[in-house]
Amino acid sequence: MITEKDVSYVADLANLELSAQERERMLRDLNSILDYIDRLNKLDTTNVPPMAQTPLNTADAMRQDALRPSLPRELALGNAPDSDGQFFRVPKVIEK
């Protein structure tokens, strides 16, 4: 089971500031996920063949690779709030 200390530790690693309400919700959600995984681990899957892909939408996964034109740089940078003409410029995110 996940504890509130675990949630705070992971939030610090991810550089997230969580309110008390958000920490409580995260604790509940993570424990719910682990409970569900525990339920899945109890299922008997001995007669279930392993699969690499789901049978649905395999046509998209098996399409031929084809060379297609990319978006022109000028068009891609056209709506950028800040660029140097070649690249997007973004503010620094990590300050540690």
**Model pTM score:** 0.51
- Sequence-ordered alpha helix ranges (H) in the chain: 4-13, 20-41, 58-61, 73-77
What digits encode the pLDDT tens for the residues 1-50? 899 999 999 999 999 999 999 999 999 999 999 999 999 999 999 998 88
What digits encode the pLDDT tens for the residues 17-26? 999 999 999 9
Q: How many CB atoms lie within 10 A of CB 7?
A: 22
